[in-house]
Amino acid sequence: MELWNWASEHSDALRECIAKGLSYAEAARTINSRFNTAYSRNAALGRARRLGLGPEDRRQPSMPRKAAESRSVVEPHASEVRKLELPWPVPVFKEFGPVKLPKLRCVEIEPRRLSLVELERGDCRYPYGGDEEGEVITFCGHPRRAGSSYCTPHFHLCRDPVEPPERAVSAASLWLVEMA
């Protein structure tokens, strides 16, 4: 028996079982007992679908349904509408005027504006351009700082401008110094 191809007698028997109103499991058991095969319920269902006898063509009793016209959609009254409560405060914008942009930090250095191909091993790789559509991106090109891809002015531009607080000296370390 080929699993992917039913014999014509088996397909005819499946048509007969479906015409009698048997379920797919019952049809598979009937075919298996008559032809000494081992078709499953799913095999019978798949074959029936390929023959055009799928479950959409079978008329089985189902739960009675109400007509769509009897259903009506009731709009809630304005007093019944619940406000959406957010767990955070929502900002209120009273004026939609122009937005004040923050002052940008800039470096007091004139870039060499080298292309990526022109950059050498020790050159700063801080990019310039590319803001507008089709604008060429160039790079600073000044000698870079040791351990960084940028020159010293661009290194400090990219870092947090806030200086770290001075290291606090604890009383215990002072006491150890006095003992020595």
Residues 151, 143 contacting (CB under 8 angstroms): yes
Q: In the Cβ-directed half-sphere of 18, how many Cα atoms lie within 13 Å?
A: 23
Which residues have a Cβ under 8 Å from the Cβ of 70 and sit 6 or more positions away?
A: none
pLDDT tens digits, 61-118: 555 555 555 556 666 666 666 666 767 776 666 666 666 766 666 777 888 889 989 9
Q: Report which secondary-structure segment, H or E, holds 139.
A: strand 138-139
pTM confidence score: 0.34
Residue extents of the structural domains in the chain = 8-50, 106-161
For residue 63, how far is the Cα from the chain centroid?
39
pLDDT tens digits, 22-55: 999 999 999 999 999 999 999 999 899 988 886 5
